[in-house]
Structure 1
Amino acid sequence: MLKYFGSRLTLLIILFGCISKLQASSTPLTDYFAESWTTQDGLPHNSVNSIVQTPDGYLWFATWEGVVRYNGRRFTHFGWGTDTHLRDSGIRTLAINSKGELLAAGSRGSFARYANHQWHPMPQLDVRINQVLTNNAGELWIATNNQGLYRQTANGQLQHFDSSSGLPSQSIKALFEDNNSRIWVGTTAGLAYLDRNSFHVHTAIPDIPVVGLTEDSQGALLVASEQGLFRQSGQDFVPFYQHILSRGVSQILADNQNALWVGTVNDGLYRLHNGQIEHKGVNDGLPDSRIKALYQDREGSIWVGTNGGLVRLRKANFTTISSKSGLVGDYARTVLVTESGSILVGTSNGLSRIDNGQVSTIDIPMPNGDTPSILSLAENDQHFLLGTYSHGLLMLNKQNGQLSQMNTRDGLLANHVRSLLVASDNSLWIGTTRGLNHLTAQGIQSFDKSNGLTDDYIMAIAQDPRGGIWIGSEMGAQIIHQHKVVSLELANLDETRSVYGFHADKDGQHMWLATDRGLIRYRYTDGQTRLIGRQQGLPINKFWQVTEDNQGFFWLTSNLGMVRIPYNAAHQAADHESDKVRYRVFADGDGMQSFQANGTSSPAIAKDQQGNIWVATAKGVVRTRPEGISKLTTASLPMQMEAISVDGKTFTHNLLSPLPAQTSRIRFEFVALGYIMPQTIQYQTRLVGFDRDWISRDTDNTAEYTNLPPGDYIFEAQASYPASDAEMGVGSLRQAFSIKPAFWQRLDVILLFFVFVIVLLLILIRTREHLLRVQSQKLKQQVQEQTQALQEQAQRFARLALQDQLTGLENRRSFDSFLKSLGSQANRNVLAYVAIMDIDHFKLVNDNWSHDVGDQVIREVGRIIAAHSRPGDHAARWGGEEFSLIIKDVDETTAVEICERIRKQVASADMSHIASGVKVTLSVGIKQCDDPDNYHRTLVLADQALYHAKASGRNKVQLWRPDLPSTNIPYVSSVRKN
């Protein structure tokens, strides 16, 4: 008994010492933000048996369906088979060896190592492996089920330990190396430790299954067993929190905040910190009461593996108080900090009160038992004032809880009351959906569109230090001062219209307005208004409410989360001293069950006496401690390249470089391994050698490039949490690669090509010049040929114009021209005679045979005349059956002889080939060309001689003589009778 009390006293002294060294303040477990994942979210199995984080930043989970890797966005599954060298998908344990490589082991002796993006086989034991440990000496310890313990030395030798080696049982459940490098072994029959290559059973621990081992911040060994938790005290072990943890403990974890996390077999999770113990079970959000794994990652989050899924717990910036915490309703519309320090929360289901974290419901004794929906809150000396959705104004007496009511029957403009203000003179301003009421000791006064308001739907009321009453509505803002209503001009500020909330600045010089276009600052001294909105970098247009904390930040509420702006940065932006305002957005992942704040009623944001900020949301009221806002990360986010796709072929690591010529598409998939809010991590990339600057990818963790030219490149990516304060960590990665040039893209080929092109151009120029010369010659020749052809054609035309078509002799025109030419100066001394020849009785030929025969006779006579004329003589068809002949350079006798020869040839010609019986004769008249100036007279006289030849018997030649009688026949001989 004395020994028992001595051990208890020792434990109390140790606990007191531990507690005295712990932090004075601690975040309660209820304020931890919980997220969970199951098979519906990508896990292959809901039972998570072991959790580790490798040095590269990945989280790994062991399940009964294989190993799972998590990057904050998705789970990657590795099952059993040749790819992983695992014999079975049931993985019992995960560990990290001295090289930072992952070890996975489980059913059927499955044991593999993951390193350099590949799985490698480990010693294969035909037994289930429960745990793996790499000690400081680099030795590998393997705990099995029913086959004892194995140790693999640094040189690869395998040593086996069983009951004969001092182990109390062949089934090993837990392994641990303490700060003194002693190996502790938890078995199904108690605790043992290794001393000089032999094991010794520690008798202070009962003969019970030991399933977990760890050390606390004081270096004391903690033992988890099926009969509770034990803590090392000197050489002894004593029960630890046995009054609570007397049932089966399955897991233990000492975190970096000196808290101890205890997982149980069927009673959920416990947290021991600062002498307090807290519990979280199925009713508090755990998917299952059996805790199978506990792990703290580098960001401080606690990961919990259960039989029903995976859970992550972390300290959040916001704590949500909802109906699960006792709030009368989840849809919170308004929140008020009372003079006594209590928090009143108006919801759609009534009114709640929060005192020192305790939530209670305030009974509102409505006469008909209705539960009013509370839209707005205020208080005066005697009452809590409640603006409702349909019951007007309720006044709840602070002392006795009695309720009084004011509605439209009492002068209210509407029973829908969205805003309340107790002014400095203790009068009450009441904003309704049909205007504004002012309640004083003298009575009630109304303001609406009829007496100055621009809109009747009143959403916010505030009082400035100068006594002005500010009214916010859907149509703008107005100030009532000394019974006068003055409207603020806001339309010029990005078409601002609706005003939802006010905040009087602590300097007494400004009023801040939350509007549908951002935050507006109004300066009292000159009435100047300035907008801080999208153009100044804010991510949201519409803000409901605004207030200021004790750390120098403005808090703005919206439908998309809470936005925090440094007070000084807001003024700098309003004064145009900076183009962009710094901000930080708090949304999902920050502990709020809903980041949709409510704000068309007021007040919907409040600051309590401790400086905490309270906000009404769609799922309860949330609280944050501005001085305790955690940085998103204090170190760089580790980044990993998860996949590189090159023209459809995917590389998970070791991108082949250089890439083939004419690679058309390269896609990079990367990830920042941050787990607090992975969905909000911002990425930017740059391809050195292609991009001129960084390219923002927002939350997209991929980058794709197409048709890159050959060359050397470096792909760079950076990631950070979306905070504009300098609090965020930045992760980065680089991937160098190159693209081969195609044959035609090589420098030597390009140079050779240019030389070839230059030579080819020279050849083309010379060839062109030659072709131009040849073409010019051809063109000249063609011109000459065409000119000659035209000349010949002209000559032919000229000949045709002077030639008789029937006989081929010259025609009358040619004859006249030739005869006329004899009168030119050059031919005046030429002796010439003109003979006119006529076929005798030619009309008989036409009448007896035909005109066709007549034509043939004419043609034949013309042939005889041409054949028996001399070269140089000019024979022509005179017209019809008449012919002419100019005989040059002859005397009279010769001229007569020539004509006589022709006459005889015609008379003797055989024309039977033309027609049977055809015979013709020719009469000829001759006259010397002795009057060159009057060739017409020569023709008349020759024709007169022809007439005498016909008259004297025909078929004869008659030379003109002066003694021939005149015939008085006109020159046109065609009238002569044949």
Structure 2
Amino acid sequence: MARVVSLILLCVCFSAFAESTRLSLSDYFTETWNTRSGLPHNSINSVAQTKDGYIWIATWEGLARFNGREFKLFTRTEIPGLPDSGLRSLIAMDNGDLYIVGARGGIAVRSQGQWRSLPSSSTMINHALISEQGEIWLALEGQGIVYRASEKATEHTLVDKLSAYRLIKDKQNVIWAATSDGLYKIEGKKVSKVGQEAGLPDASAFTLLLTQSGTLIVGTEKGAWQKQHDKFVSVDATLNHESISSLLEDTQGDIWFGTINKGVFRLRQSGLENLDADDGLPNNRILSLLQDREKSIWVGTNAGLFRLREAPFTNWSQSRGLASDYVRTVLSHSDGSLWVGSSNGLNRIINGEITTLNQAYERDPLSVLSLTEDKNGDVWLGTYTGGLMKVVNNKIYPVKNRTNGLLNNEVRAVLFDSSHNLWIGTASGLTKLTDDGQIHSYTTEEGLAGNFIMALSEDNQGQLWVGTGVGVSIFDPALNTFSNIEFPEKFSTEYAFGFYLDGEKMWLATDRGLIRYDLKTDVMHLFGREQGLPVDKLFQVIEQGDSLWLTSNRGVIQLNKTQLTEFLDNPTGAESVVVSMQLYDEGDGMLSAQANGGSNPAAVTHSDGQLWVATAKGVAIVKPERLKEASKRRLSTVIESFEVDGKPVALPAKSDVLSLPAGISRVSFNYAGLSFIMPQRLNYQTHLSGYNEEWVDRGRLAITEYTNLPPGEYTFKVRAGYPNSEWQNNEQTLRFRIAPYFWQKTSFKLVLILGLFLIAYAIYKYRLYHYKRIEIELTEKVEQQMHDLKNQADAFAHLANHDQLTQLPNRRAFDSWLFENFSQFQHNKQSLSVAIMDIDHFKLINDNFSHLIGDQVICEIARLLRINFPDEGYAARWGGEEFTLLFPHKGADEAARLCEIIRLEIADYNFSELAKELSVTVSFGVADNANVTDYDRLLSHADTALYHAKNNGRNKVVIYNKEILIL
């Protein structure tokens, strides 16, 4: 932890839009990179950020470019003309250019993605100053300061025989130089030394800073000095014995000092702070400082690159005064303090001050499992081995244990209910301590789901919810009984670690995800791993802002509550609802992603809006507003490389179109969102104009590939966005054109089409005479074929709709007529009757006289039907020995009379000409549309009537659903 020189931690407000508080150095999240991480060398001589958002690092073994995920190296191989890979300084220009200077006098500039080398100087260049007019001032090692009127102009020496380290120009166009001989001033090429007469010490000057207000600060071998009018005064007397190697002013106006051997100092209104190797710096020798656009501080040391950033999470740990790093419970007290129970004691934190509470009686160290506050503001604690205790006058006193009423000394949950009863959840059951001191104990024998109690809560009906290792019990104080929640078998839930009451809903943190329980309807919904939750074992549920926060062994999960509620309220349409969520862990500032559970409360919301979470390495604290601020910061997107068939291609300028040869089978784009706070969580969208017209979600994939693109012109676009936030206007584009093969060109296609047309025309003319000769013959053949086809079509049509044996319409034709006309008759309320006729004992005719005679009988009956059937009717062979008859505009009675005429005609007909002693009768079933809604029912009624006729003697006409009438 950083040693804070001044312990005054006052909130400082620099403007109406500035943050009301600043993190102490101990609360910054730190990261380190070195050669094992991909840097070419561990001495970080200079760090700069260019306009496009890249971080650039100068080392003795070359230049590194950082995009948040990986380093890309540039050495003499990638920068032709550079005399040596050793670099001393980086100068980022407002127009996006980057100048690099270093060993052997090397100078190069990167402009619009391309490198060019400038003429080298005589020796190593420590720093360079480039004016708006293109003038170049160089600070040389051992050879002073030189000047060039332009990039390639002749050098003029202004100061010789000393080492110049840093150059800066103030608002009056005065150039100041930090040198081994102190501070020099250059006005219009006139050089003068500024020494002790101006208040500066007799010492080397290493670095310079011009503040936002225009104040010049000089970092020397004997402290830092700022210019006030014509004199220099010490910035802070504490630094007067320190060698200041680098300077930085951050966006809040605080001054950072890099030193030769004491690490980093920061000066703000509340005092001076120090961060050194004991606090995590790779080394105490500081070579460079930078604040990037996301307000992170980059520190270049001679043992690696170090960064401090305001991560979403800060921490209190043992190194800051906690009794132990292993924290089990936290309590937000009504007086504004935070209480932290850990494996080795109890702490109270208020206004940044931490105190440790001791036991009133000497005994073994206290392992605290649970905390609660009573109506008087007193704090009660449950312990691992000491039972129930209470804080009185800042001392911890025992209250109850196994010897005087508790079922077990392991107390994982304590709760005061609305009647001021204290409920004590132990490893062996539940105990109630009333306001008058009475004790009541409850176990599985009294109805508890299990004896191992981990969580307690009271709902708005005054019922006590008890979380155990085998389910949840609800205690009704009016009935003095327990009821147990039966989780659906598909939930597979056993452990209930925590509760959160949300109006008429109770949220349960379980070992299978988050469960919402409706207190009115007893309906439960589960949101677990199958629904997209990254972790299904949850310990605590907290609501803050528009989110639910869940703690787990893998970090803290933030869920959008509105989306989650919509998801659970409409399970059938859940696939269309996206629930925004984010998992936070060590990369977001937590010292440990293991948030502890099994004791309560394991996480709380404090009065200032911060969330405090018990973890295996202290307490992790997050302020949700800080997360929202991070997602609103400017985010740059860059296209880093473009490959064609696996080979890299130099990126063109933004306005240029890259021409690619014909036959390209694959193009791929590598891109990055230049965020150094959450680079692994950025989301990307791409769009390829000319191929698709919509943005395509790529998730966190930083590469896109297209195959077999046809020839044409395309514009590739990519943009990056923070998780759970709107897309920024940061898209980058790359235009390219794929050339066609000669046979794919429009001109070739036109020539080919013209040639084909001419050939076709020649063939046409050649064949025209032949066609004329055979025209008459062909016409006759066509006419004959058309006639034959018509006859054949007519025959097919007739066969399709007529019975081949009787030439009556077949069942298909009958069904079609009935289907097409039934609805019209019903709509017009017109009568329509159907009769089904069956030849009686037709099987005996086939058996006694042969099937041939049977066929002749069928044909004869069909003939009699055609003779005797009314013109407006419709008769068809239904199949086998059955016929169907339609009687439009006739009711069942009238249709039955007509059927009776046909029946008598058939019964009286002489069939002996077909076979001796052959006689034939038929039966009819008649029905009308009076009480039916579809034609299938009409046919069914007629069939039923026919069935009745055949079962009652045959040779009858029977009307459906009326008194049987035999006419």
Fold similarity call, TM over 0.5: yes
- Name 1:514's counterpart in structure 2: 509
Q: Distance in 2 between matches of 1:61 and 1:156?
A: 26
Q: Does 1:321 align with 2:344?
A: no
Secondary structure (helix, strand or coil) at the match of 2:588 reads coil
Q: What is the aligned partner in structure 2 of residue 671 from structure 1?
A: 672
Q: Is the 8 A contact 1:583 1:725 kept in 2?
A: no
Quick check: 1:375 aligned with 2:374? Answer: no
1:574–1:17 CA distance, 2 compared to 1 (3 A): closer
Aligned amino acid, residue 392 of structure 2: K
Query: 1:177 corresponds to which residue?
Result: 169
Distance 1:732 1:738 in 2: 20
Change in 2 beyond 3 A, CA 1:538/1:631: farther
Alignment partner of 2:29 out of 26, 33, 39: 33
Listed as ranges, the gaps of 5+ residues in structure 2 are 1-11, 768-967
Tell me which of 621, 624, 629 is aligned to 1:623.
621
Deviation at 1:22, TM superposition (A): 8.1
Does residue 682 in structure 1 map to residue 683 in structure 2?
A: yes
3-state DSSP of counterpart to 1:592: coil
SS of alignment partner, residue 81 of structure 2: coil
Residue 141 of structure 1 is matched in structure 2 by 137
d(CA) in 2 for partners of 1:229, 1:20: 30
Q: Partner residue of 1:503?
A: 500
- For 2:254, the equivalent position in structure 1 comes to 259
The answer to whether the 8 Å contact 2:411/2:426 transfers is yes
Question: How far apart, in 2, do the equivalents of 1:731 and 1:492 lie?
Answer: 49
Q: Secondary structure at the match of 1:631?
A: helix
How do 1:897-936 and structure 2 match up within 5 A?
A: none
* Corresponding residue for residue 65 of structure 2: 69
Structure 1's 545 and 20: CA in aligned 2 closer, same or farther, altered over 3 A?
closer
Task: State the shift of 1:712 in Å.
Answer: 3.5
What is the CA-CA distance between 1:406 and the residue it aligns to? Answer: 4.2
Contact 1:523 1:529 in 2 (8 A): yes
C-alpha deviation, 1:263, in angstroms? 1.0
Amino acid at match of 1:371: P
- Note if 1:192 corresponds to 2:199: no
Give the corresponding residue for 1:150: 146
Q: How does 1:108-147 map to 2 (within 5 A)?
A: 108-147=104-143
Identity of aligned residues (%): 39
Asked if 1:470 corresponds to 2:462, the answer is no
Give per-residue Cα distances to partners, 1:300-320, cap 9 Å, x unaligned: 111110111111112222211
2:51 to 46, 51, 55: 55
Question: 2:732 aligns to what?
Answer: 733
- Residue 97 (structure 2) aligns with: 101
Between the aligned partners of 1:24 and 1:656, the Cα distance in structure 2 is 49
Distance 1:568 1:98 in 2: 44
Alignment check: 8 A CA contact 1:714 1:735 kept: yes
Alpha-carbon distance change, 270 to 467 in structure 1, aligned in 2, over 3 angstroms: same
SS of structure 2 residue aligned to 1:363: strand
> Does the CA-based 8 Å contact 1:101-1:115 persist in structure 2?
yes
How far, CA to CA, are the matches of 1:257 and 1:243 in structure 2? 22
Question: Are the counterparts in 2 of residues 532 and 573 from structure 1 also a CA contact under 8 Å?
Answer: no
Q: CA deviation at 1:211?
A: 1.1
> Counterpart in 2 of 1:334?
329
Distance 1:628 1:699, change over 3 A: closer
Mapping 1:276-295, distance limit 5 Å: 276-295=271-290
CA shift in 2, pair 1:242/1:572, >3 Å: same
Q: 1:460 to 1:170 in 2, by over 3 A?
A: same
Residue 19 of structure 1 contacts residue 274 of structure 1 at CA under 8 Å; is this kept in 2? no
Q: Higher mean Cα deviation, 293-302 or 357-366?
A: 357-366
Instruction: Name structure 1 gaps, 5 residues minimum.
Output: 1-15, 767-978
CA distance in 1, matches of 2:517, 2:725: 26
Deviation per CA, 1:310-348: give whole Å up to 9, x if none.
Answer: 111122222111122122222222111234433222223
2:686 aligned counterpart, secondary structure? strand
Matched residue type, 1:614: W
- What is the CA–CA distance in structure 2 between the aligned matches of 1:341 and 1:82, rounded to whole Å? 59
Contact conserved, 1:393 with 1:406, CA < 8 A, in 2? Answer: yes
* 1:50–1:343 CA distance, 2 compared to 1 (3 A): same
Distance 1:161 1:292, change over 3 A: same
Name which of structure 1's ranges 126-135 and 348-357 shifts more when overlaid on structure 2: 348-357
Distance 2:47 2:171 in 1: 22
Matched, 1:458 2:453: yes
Distance 1:49 1:462, change over 3 A: same
The equivalent residue for 1:610 is 608
Out of 430, 435, 458, the residue aligned to residue 429 of structure 2 is 435
**CA distance in 2: counterparts of 1:216 and 1:20, whole angstroms:** 20
Q: Distance in 2 between matches of 1:105 and 1:196?
A: 24
Answer whether contact 1:148 1:160 (CA < 8 A) is retained: no
Q: Deviations over 1:236-288 (max 9, x none)?
A: 11111123443211111111111111111111111112242211111211111
1:744-802 Cα offsets, whole Å, 9 max, x none, are 65567778889999999x99xx9xxxxxxxxxxxxxxxxxxxxxxxxxxxxxxxxxxxx
Cα distance change of structure 1 residues 540 and 714 upon mapping to structure 2, 3 Å threshold: farther
Asked whether the equivalents of residues 118 and 152 of structure 2 are also in contact (C-alpha less than 8 Å), the reply is no
1:566, distance to aligned residue in structure 2 (A): 5.3
Q: Match of 1:931?
A: none
Q: State the alpha-carbon separation in 2 of the partners of residues 233 and 291 from structure 1.
A: 27
Name the CA shift for 1:202/1:592 in 2 (closer, same or farther; >3 Å): same
Equivalent residue of 1:545, what SS?
strand
**Quick one: structure 1 residues 715 and 354, their matched pair in 2 at CA, closer, same or farther if it must change by over 3 Å?**
same
Kept in 2: contact 1:364–1:403 (CA 8 A)? yes
Matched, 1:404 2:398: yes
| Structure 1 residues 681 and 156, CA gap change in structure 2 (3 angstroms) | same
Considering only CA atoms, is the larger Rg found in Structure 1 or Structure 2?
A: 1
Determine the C-alpha separation between the residues in 1 that align with 2:116 and 2:377. 76
Is the alpha carbon distance of 1:427 and 1:721 closer, same or farther for their aligned partners in structure 2, counting shifts above 3 Å? Answer: same
Distance 1:31 1:635 in 2: 21
Provide the residue aligned with 2:417 in structure 1: 423
SS in 1 for 2:445: helix
The letter of the residue matching 1:322 is: S
Q: Whole-Å Cα distance in 1 between the matches of residues 69 and 184 of structure 2?
A: 42
CA distance in 2, matches of 1:201, 1:658: 57
Structure 1 residues 23 and 414, CA gap change in structure 2 (3 angstroms) = closer
Tell me the number of residue pairs that the alignment of Structure 1 and Structure 2 aligns.
742
Q: Aligned pair in 2 of structure 1 residues 715, 497: CA closer, same or farther (>3 Å)? A: farther
CA distance in 1, matches of 2:448, 2:321: 41
Counterpart AA for 1:720: G
The answer to whether the 8 A contact 1:385-1:393 is kept is: no
**Normalised TM-score (structure 1):** 0.69
Q: Residue type matched to 1:190 in 2?
A: G
- Structure 1, 286-295 or 395-404: larger mean CA deviation: 395-404
| TM-score when normalising by structure 2 | 0.70
Residues 754-903 of structure 1 aligned to structure 2 (within 5 Å):
none
8 Å CA contact 2:429–2:452 kept in 1: the answer is yes
Question: Aligned equivalents of 2:101 and 2:58: distance in 1?
Answer: 9
Question: Per the alignment, do residues 695 and 560 of structure 1 end up closer, same or farther by CA in structure 2, a change over 3 Å counting?
Answer: farther
Question: Aligned in 2, Cα 1:511/1:725: closer, same or farther, shift over 3 Å?
Answer: farther
Asked if the contact 1:719/1:730 (under 8 Å) is kept, the reply is no
Q: 1:645 is aligned with what amino acid?
A: E
Which residue in the other structure is 2:38 paired with? 42
Specify the alignment match of 1:961 in structure 2: none
2:85 aligned partner: 89
Displacement of 1:743 in angstroms is 5.3
**C-alpha distance in 1 between matches for 2:15 and 2:629:** 26
Check whether the contact 1:720–1:730 (CA below 8 A) recurs between aligned residues.
no
In 2, the alpha carbon distance for the partners of 1:17 and 1:664 equals 59
State the alpha-carbon separation in 2 of the partners of residues 35 and 340 from structure 1: 36
- State the one-letter code of the partner of 2:30: A
Equivalent pair of 2:311/2:677 in contact (CA under 8 Å): no
- Partner SS, residue 596 of structure 1: coil
- Is the 8 Å Cα contact of residues 563 and 577 (structure 2) preserved in structure 1? no
Contact 1:536 1:573 in 2 (8 A): no
Q: Which moved more, 1:296-305 or 1:493-502?
A: 493-502
Farther off after superposition, 264-273 or 214-223: 214-223
